[in-house]
Structure formats: C-alpha cells, structure tokens
Chain A
Amino acid sequence: MDRKKFINNSGRLVLLGGLAYLTGSIIYQRKVSASGKYVWQIDPFKCTQCGRCATECVRDLSAVKCVHAYSLCGYCDLCGGYFKPNTHKLNTGAESQLCPTGALNRKFVEEPFFQYTIDEKLCNGCAKCVKGCGSFGNGSLHLQIRHDLCQNCNECSISRMCPSNAISRVPIETAYLIKGDFKKPAVSTPK
C-alpha cells in the first residue's frame, strides 16, 4: 500500500516537474506574452485576390470584407472596382455592376467625383472589386478580416488555403492593416 502511495507521489512529482520545465522553457525563451492577444489579418500588399476568402472562411458569409481606404481613392467616375470590364454606360444597373452581391455602392459627390462605399452585410469578400481597383485604379479597395465577425479560430482556415500567405497572426494592437495608414508613404512618384 505504502509502496503504491510512494509510486503515486513520485510519479505526480515527476509530471509536475515536467510541466514546470515546459512552462519554464517557454517563459525563458520569451515565447509567452502575458498581455498579448493575436488575431488574424490580411496583408493587403501580399493579397492576390484569389477569391478563397469568400469560400474558405468557417463562417457562411465570410468574415473577410472589402474595406475602402478612402484616402487612396481616386473617386473615379469609371471605377475599375465598381464596373464590369468594358462597361460603356456608367449606370448602377446590374448589367454594369462588378460586385456579385451588389455590396458596393456608388454615390455622386460632385462633378466629376463619385464616392464608393461597401455594404458589409452583403459583401462576401470575393475580392473581385479589389482586383479591378488594384489593376485599373489606385488600389484603395482591399480585403480585411472584420474582427466583429471573425471567430479568431486557433488556425485560420483561410490562411491554410491562402496561396500568397497574406494572412498572418498580428498583435491585437494592430488588428487592422488598412492600406492608407499601413506602411506606405502618403505621396509617391509615378512609375
């Protein structure tokens, strides 16, 4: 009986020691951050608009939405992100709209400027407009993970499928990588 107790105790001690060692080594290597929380976010400069954000998210209507960095927008009349390629009549009818869910709204500001806003209830993060805006416009439209919707899965199921590794864990302090404020210079020279 005593022998059993002894084995039991020593075994427990060993295991406790193991746990302690493991924790210790993690802490020692500064691998643990007490106040830290990490969330998933898309680096708009790496994103290649493969459309998987719309299909791979665990949520049915993806937690990835298109956001508009207005400070980069050209307020074009002919917006590459809003209109289907080769649209002649620049009206807001379905025949000319690029967005498959009609989540992109176009509002006249003043001659010749138009404002484009996103209705996130409808946006499914397919990045069609992002592609259009990126290649023909200023690239002010881009994808971001919306943290009010994101489940913050332990491993983001989109990042698993992301071909350009654009999705990565970022500290909660910089939960968004919105283009205008993120990195790039405000003015740059044309190429």
Chain B
Amino acid sequence: MNRKLIISILLVLAIIIVALVVIDVLNSRPDKRPDNPYEYSVDQFKSVDSTLIKYTETLDFTFGDLDLRGIAFANDRLYLVEDNFLVIFSTEGKKLAKSPLPESPTCVAASSNGIYIGFANHIAQYNLDGLQIKSWESPGDSTLITSLAVQDCYVFAADAGKRRVLKYMTNGELTGSFTGKRDSADLHGFIIPSPYFDLAVNTFGELWVVNPGQHAFENYTFNGELRGFWEKTAMTIDGFSGCCNPAHMAVLSDGSFVTAEKGMVRIKVHKASGELLSVVAPPEAFEGETHAPDLAVSPAGDIYALDFERKMIRVFQLKK
C-alpha cells in the first residue's frame, strides 16, 4: 500500500476525529440541546377565551414564607390557617389576631358564632377571637378532614380518609355521616383518589359535595340522600380535568360554584346547574402544574384564592 494514500487516509481520519469531538462539545451546550421530543403538553387547553374572563385580580395578601393551609371568609374577616397558626385579618389586610394551633391544620370554616378548624383527624372549635373553645373527639384514625362547611346549627365535614361526609352539631356532637353509596352500581359513593374532597352549603341551605373522582357536584339532603348531581369531565375550559377535580370549591350567594382545579390550575364559576358561567383565573395566572388554590368568597362576590405556590391570598373581583 503506498505511503501517500495511507497518509492522506490518516489525515482524513484525524480531521474526522477532531470534527466529532467538536460537534459533540458544541451540541451539549445548554443553549444548543434539543428540546424534549416526548413533551407532555396541555398548552392547547391553557389558552382561555379572554371574553370568558369576567374577573380581575385586585389585591394580594402576602405572608412571607409560611406553610399556608386554608382560608375562610365570614363576618367581613378572613380566617387563614397556616402550619400551626390561625391568623385573622381584615379585608384591608390588617392583622387582627394570631393564635397558635396545637398541630398542623387542614382547613377552616367560620360563621357568625365561631371558627371551626379541621386537623388531620379531628375538628376544633374556636371563638371569633381565635381562642380555642373545644376540641371535638376524633371520628377515627384513618379520618382526614379536608373541608368544613357551617350551616347555622350544623357543621359538615368532608372526611377524605374514610370517603364520607360527617354531620356535626355546632356543639361538637356527631349526629350522622354518609358515603353517598347506593346499592345500584352507578352510584359507588365518593371516589377520592387523592386527598382533595370539598363541600359547601349554599345560601339556600343546600349541601353540595364534590365527588372529585367523578368530576361531579352532588347535592345531598342533610341526611345524605342524593337530591341531584351534575358532572363534567373535560380538559377544555367547560369541564374538570385530571383524575380528581375540582379540588376546592366555594358557593357564591346566587348559588353558583367557584371551582379550583389542580394539575392545570384554573379558577372558574359554574352555574348551580353546571354550565360554565365565567372564568376567574386562567392557567396562565398560576405557576406550572401545581396545587389548586383554596377558595373563599365574600357575600359581595369577591373571590379569595389561597395560592400555595406564591404563598399569598389573591383577591379577584368582577370586572367593572
């Protein structure tokens, strides 16, 4: 084999080697790397028709770096539970009281005659100044209270752990519970894949329970008979996404529902009959795929959303 040829081959090879290394180096730069071919994208559902958005964010209450858990609105006051504290403050954000809690709370509800705070497996009653009146006895260990609703003499508690709704008297006496189960196969009670289970009593005294596994709103009598329900599963704005949504809800004075979803976070208002009424906050208003904000509404119709990511309460009001 003649030497010239060999040398030329060698040179070519040398060049190839250098080229390969250079290419590899350049392609592994953070700005040159290929984008994810397997991207899981829900962006197509994130864009919301702006005409639907009837609310605007007017005020934020910030809290530093606290581990916020839940909010309630009553008596023109906001009641916030964070890890080991109850904070009461005015709608202008003036702190009125702050009292430590025995353990980390899960949710809070308030009425004109008291504050009720849900802990993992029991409920405690506080007076309006945030002093504990009574800690109610726990209905069982696997219990996980995720939401409370007060209706003059009743306190309803959503027990995600046992997948049931508990009915208490305001003095703490447990007077009943129901799981929504029926003999007929089509009603297999509350399906709660993850610890999100909300309920509320609207101004007409109707008890509405979210059945997140079904994306359903179910209306029960206080004794647990199903009066009616509606459900809507869809990624699109008019329905509820994911495997268990809405995660939180609240009822406006006209009986329509304010709903908050996890996964693709968005806050919407649905009619009592289920049709989408308006959008409060589109997914863009929240960071990434994160937790659903806890909700509270004022009689005036202002919506208070507890944003766990930004650690603030965000106030939405109807656009003028």
Contacts and interface: CB of A to CB of B under 8 A. Distances in A.
Interface of A: 49-52, 54-55, 74-80, 85-86, 88, 98, 100, 111-112, 126-128, 131-132, 134-138, 160-161, 163, 187-191
A78 B244 CA distance: 9
Contacts of A137: 193-194, 242-244
Q: Which 6 A-B pairs give the minimum distances between C-beta atoms?
A: A74-B193, A135-B289, A136-B242, A76-B243, A126-B38, A86-B235
A189 B263 contact: no
A100 B38 contact: yes
Interface residues on B, range: 35 or more
A136 B235 CA distance: 11
A80 B191 contact: no
B36 interface: yes
A190 B37 CA distance: 33
Nearest to B141: A187
A100 B36 CA distance: 13
Given A86-B234, A135-B289, A161-B33, A111 B242 contact: no
Interface stretch (B39-47, B84-92, B167-175): B39-47
A51 B37 contact: yes
Nearest to B291: A191
Contacts of B264: 135-136
A111 B185 contact: yes
Interface in B18-48: 28, 30, 33-34, 36-42, 44-45
Contact of A136 (B106, B120, B241, B294): B241
Contacts of A75: 193
Nearest to A50: B36
B268 to A, nearest CB: 16
A108 to B, nearest CB: 14
Contacts of A100: 38
Among B40, B185, B294, the most chain A Cβ lie within 10 Å of the Cβ of B40
Contact of A128 (B38, B188, B235): B38
Contacts of A136: 241-243, 262-264, 289
Given A190-B146, A190-B195, A55 B289 contact: no
Contacts of A187: 120, 144
A98 B236 contact: no
B233 interface: yes
B163 to A, nearest CB: 11
Contacts of A80: 242-243, 263
B279 to A, nearest CB: 17
